[in-house]
Structure 1
């Protein structure tokens, strides 16, 4: 039986893992409302990021005044509009002037367009969003993917979505995450394509096309998170009832699941986009301050983890 850690302590433990001796330079694309500016300044005051505000300077200064924060310590790159802000923020990352990219008050698809443009921040891996959720009465942190980027992912895109989530799980200390590929039922039914994809993804994991985690599915949500529900259906699985990662069939189901956990179950959430050359911090107007800080902490942990192997090699 897993001990249930008090709600909110798990995000506090996550923040404690971050080395805050050197804040990570972060390009903030179009931070032109008070919440976007406040989120960046909050993270800076926590020692997580060194923000570079990219957008129309008058709008950024007006937003800072509304938020009651001081911008004097921070660099501002003045550009005329949100499209230019997204492009310039990506360019700062490409030039090495920023190690992270953070969404301000522009639309997610506008920022992703700049990320995915020629000369942007794409890699061979499909981009995907991962929510890290601290859900009351669940025995572990839960990752939900993808609820923000891929609308109806293909089988191979789901492979990347899973690998991205496993990589993030490793960074936060889950050595061999249990991955539940969700559907409405636990048996394979050609009328439900998500069940067929789930079966294929499990075989791909067996053959080394997905590495670093234990993948099982199809699993319904209750069987993925509740051992009693799984046992009642005779499901024998190392993942059932103990999932670390929930892989949803499509963006609609993922978005609804994440918001239900937040607004009905009282979960705290943080989220980043994986698969680009750098982690991308996505925040929402509905995010609580702790969620915004946790999202920045996740991205910083990714940067620090990427540096760790080089540091080990230098020591040896």
Structure 2
């Protein structure tokens, strides 16, 4: 399988599957979510279970009327009840992907993380993966965690990497190259994440993570620019050719995400991982295109 290198190739890969992804959407009441639903219905890549509160059911009914064969509408007394119902539709196997519409992320996550009726397995680690198509980089760049884990522990770093590897594999990358990001290439006890990086590299070299290259610490430029590595006398399959970047904390990951989208002219997508099914939780500021590509990513990851 050829690796997917652009977001448009990602869409084409989903189309070639010839099977619509079943998506449960919580409160599909905002223009960007409506755009995603209409576009994906037109492109025949998804069908929908729209779960809305009673005050906004007219919007969902209009989407049903436009495409009755591929849209079902469910109503609930409140947004929180809608979130719980949508999660149950995923748990029961009626939907493959959960997507956030016009509901607060905290409210949706309460349903996702419910101990008895949620989507996170016992002992699982919820994390976030973003993917960027950057004009000056030669392939898609995945990175974690820009949205969920404030300051990862060793176990959380390991789970993030394994979640991201799984998605890369689904997109045809047989041996993903993972860069462990820091402000320099030196391990320093003042920065505990660099100690974690040493253990993660050891585990990867011993084959405990499967077919993957893991290297670091290194800065973001070295991860994506081979010349930077040459100047520093560094050499590995990861340097200048990273598929995945793992950030030391949510501040750095989130800043990277927002900087790429604002100043780097990057097209972005993202989703939650670690759950029994992919969860799309776009930011309020994300564009319609970003939300669309996030859905496509989740549909591919869930296959």
One fold, TM greater than 0.5?
yes
The residue correspondences of 1:89-128 to structure 2 (distance < 5 A) are 89-117=86-114, 118-123=116-121, 124-128=123-127
Q: Is the 8 A contact 2:32 2:291 kept in 1?
A: no
Q: 1:1-316, aligned counterparts within 5 Å?
A: 10-18=6-14, 19=16, 21-62=18-59, 70-72=63-65, 73=68, 74-117=71-114, 118-123=116-121, 124-304=123-303
**Per the alignment, in what secondary structure is the counterpart of residue 181 of structure 1?**
strand
Distance 2:266 2:214 in 1: 24
Q: Counterpart in 2 of 1:6?
A: none
Deviation at 1:60, TM superposition (A): 4.2
Between stretches 201-210 and 136-145, larger displacement belongs to 201-210
Does the Cα contact within 8 Å between 1:29 and 1:102 map onto a contact in 2?
yes
> Is this contact kept in 1: 2:223–2:242, CA < 8 A?
yes
Partner deviation per Cα, 1:250-280 (whole Å, 9 max, x = no partner)? 1111111011111101010111211111111
* Cα-to-partner distance string for 1:92-127 (whole Å, 9 max, x where unaligned): 111222121111122223222211212311125412
Deviating above 4 A after TM superposition, structure 1's stretches of 4 or more consecutive aligned residues are none
Structure 2: where are the runs of 5+ without partners? none
| Contact 2:111–2:117 (Cα < 8 Å) also in 1 | no
Cα distance in 2 for partners of 1:61, 1:38 equals 16
**Backbone CA RMSD of aligned residues:** 1.8
SS of the aligned residue for 1:269 comes to: strand
Contact 2:20 2:45 in 1 (8 A): yes
| Greater Cα shift, 86-95 or 282-291 | 282-291
Distance 2:178 2:17 in 1: 31
Displacement of 1:287 after TM fit? 2.5
Q: Is the 8 A contact 1:187 1:218 kept in 2?
A: yes
Cα deviations by residue, 1:73-101 (Å, 9 ceiling, x for unpaired):
22211112221111111011112221211
Which deviates further from its counterpart, 138-147 or 35-44?
Answer: 35-44
Segments of structure 1 that go 5 or more residues without pairing to the other structure are 1-8, 305-316
Q: Is the 8 A contact 2:32 2:287 kept in 1?
A: no
Look up the SS of the partner of 1:78 in the other structure: strand
Q: Distance in 2 between matches of 1:121 and 1:194?
A: 28
Asked if the contact 2:57/2:75 (under 8 Å) is kept, the reply is no
Measure, in 1, the Cα distance between the counterparts of 2:197 and 2:229. 17
Q: Residue 57 of structure 1: CA displacement?
A: 3.4
CA distance in 2, matches of 1:45, 1:284: 24
Deviations along 1:235-257, one digit per CA (max 9) or x if unpaired, are 12221111110001111111110
- Measured in 2, the distance between the counterparts of 1:212 and 1:263 equals 34
